[in-house]
Amino acid sequence: MKTKIDITYVAKLAKIKLNKKEKETLSVELHTILAFINKLNEIDTSLAPPTSHPFSIKNVFRKDVARPSLPIAKVRRLTPQMKNDFFKVPKVIEK
Protein backbone atom coordinates (compact mmCIF):
# COMPACT_ATOMS: atom_id res chain seq x y z
CA MET A 1 0.00 0.00 0.00
CA LYS A 2 1.63 3.24 -1.15
CA THR A 3 0.59 6.28 0.87
CA LYS A 4 0.76 9.71 -0.72
CA ILE A 5 2.98 11.97 1.36
CA ASP A 6 2.78 15.74 0.97
CA ILE A 7 6.50 16.50 1.22
CA THR A 8 5.92 20.25 0.97
CA TYR A 9 3.61 20.07 4.00
CA VAL A 10 6.09 17.94 5.95
CA ALA A 11 8.91 20.37 5.13
CA LYS A 12 6.73 23.28 6.26
CA LEU A 13 6.02 21.51 9.58
CA ALA A 14 9.74 20.90 10.03
CA LYS A 15 10.46 24.52 9.04
CA ILE A 16 12.95 23.47 6.39
CA LYS A 17 13.29 24.53 2.78
CA LEU A 18 13.78 21.80 0.21
CA ASN A 19 14.60 22.02 -3.45
CA LYS A 20 12.98 19.68 -5.98
CA LYS A 21 15.76 17.07 -5.76
CA GLU A 22 15.63 17.05 -1.95
CA LYS A 23 11.85 16.63 -2.04
CA GLU A 24 12.20 13.62 -4.33
CA THR A 25 14.88 12.07 -2.11
CA LEU A 26 12.87 12.70 1.05
CA SER A 27 9.76 11.22 -0.55
CA VAL A 28 11.60 7.98 -1.31
CA GLU A 29 13.09 7.84 2.20
CA LEU A 30 9.75 8.47 3.92
CA HIS A 31 8.05 5.80 1.81
CA THR A 32 10.81 3.35 2.78
CA ILE A 33 10.28 4.16 6.46
CA LEU A 34 6.50 3.77 6.17
CA ALA A 35 6.91 0.46 4.35
CA PHE A 36 9.10 -0.79 7.21
CA ILE A 37 6.54 0.35 9.78
CA ASN A 38 3.79 -1.43 7.84
CA LYS A 39 5.93 -4.61 7.89
CA LEU A 40 6.26 -4.29 11.67
CA ASN A 41 2.49 -3.85 11.97
CA GLU A 42 2.03 -7.24 10.26
CA ILE A 43 3.81 -9.07 13.10
CA ASP A 44 1.49 -11.01 15.40
CA THR A 45 2.28 -9.80 18.90
CA SER A 46 -0.79 -11.28 20.59
CA LEU A 47 1.28 -13.91 22.42
CA ALA A 48 4.02 -11.50 23.50
CA PRO A 49 3.75 -10.39 27.12
CA PRO A 50 3.28 -6.66 27.62
CA THR A 51 6.47 -4.93 28.67
CA SER A 52 7.53 -1.40 29.35
CA HIS A 53 11.23 -2.12 28.86
CA PRO A 54 12.79 -4.88 26.79
CA PHE A 55 15.57 -5.29 29.37
CA SER A 56 15.38 -5.47 33.13
CA ILE A 57 16.28 -2.16 34.68
CA LYS A 58 17.67 -1.61 38.12
CA ASN A 59 18.97 1.50 39.79
CA VAL A 60 22.61 1.52 40.70
CA PHE A 61 23.09 3.60 43.80
CA ARG A 62 26.32 4.61 45.41
CA LYS A 63 27.03 6.05 48.81
CA ASP A 64 27.24 9.82 48.94
CA VAL A 65 30.74 10.78 49.85
CA ALA A 66 31.47 14.24 51.24
CA ARG A 67 34.54 15.69 49.60
CA PRO A 68 36.34 18.91 50.29
CA SER A 69 35.24 21.76 48.04
CA LEU A 70 37.31 24.53 46.55
CA PRO A 71 38.33 27.27 48.96
CA ILE A 72 36.15 30.40 48.62
CA ALA A 73 39.24 32.53 47.92
CA LYS A 74 40.08 30.38 44.88
CA VAL A 75 36.47 30.39 43.67
CA ARG A 76 36.38 34.20 43.90
CA ARG A 77 39.37 34.34 41.53
CA LEU A 78 37.63 32.03 39.04
CA THR A 79 34.31 33.86 38.73
CA PRO A 80 33.57 37.39 37.53
CA GLN A 81 30.95 38.13 40.24
CA MET A 82 30.01 36.72 43.62
CA LYS A 83 27.53 37.85 46.26
CA ASN A 84 27.49 36.38 49.79
CA ASP A 85 29.72 33.50 48.64
CA PHE A 86 27.32 32.60 45.79
CA PHE A 87 27.86 32.96 42.06
CA LYS A 88 26.09 36.05 40.72
CA VAL A 89 24.65 35.40 37.27
CA PRO A 90 22.39 37.36 34.92
CA LYS A 91 18.66 36.95 35.47
CA VAL A 92 17.23 34.54 32.87
CA ILE A 93 13.72 33.88 34.16
CA GLU A 94 11.06 36.51 34.72
CA LYS A 95 8.46 36.19 37.48
| DSSP per-residue letters across 16-82 | ----HHHHHHHHHHHHHHHHHHHHHHTS--TTSPP-S-SS----------------HHHHHHHSS-E
Give, in degrees to the nearest 5, the angle at Cα 55 between 51 and 57. 100
Domain membership of residue 20 (yes or no) is yes
Domain membership of residue 95 (yes or no) is no
How confident is the model at residue 93, as a pLDDT?
84
Total domains in the chain come to: 1
How confident is the model at residue 1, as a pLDDT?
53
Domain membership of residue 37 (yes or no) is yes
Domain membership of residue 18 (yes or no) is yes
Give, in degrees to the nearest 5, the angle at Cα 40 between 39 and 44. 110
Tell me: the pLDDT tens digits for 60-93?
888 999 999 888 888 888 888 888 888 888 888 8
How confident is the model at residue 20, as a pLDDT?
94
Do residues 23 and 8 touch, judged by C-beta distance below 8 A?
Answer: yes
Tell me: the pLDDT tens digits for 5-45?
899 999 999 999 999 999 999 999 999 999 999 999 999 98
Q: Domain of residue 34: give its range.
A: 7-41
Domain membership of residue 27 (yes or no) is yes
How confident is the model at residue 75, as a pLDDT?
85
- Determine which helix (DSSP H) or strand (DSSP E) holds 73, and give its type and residue range: helix 72-78
Does pTM top 0.75 for this prediction?
no
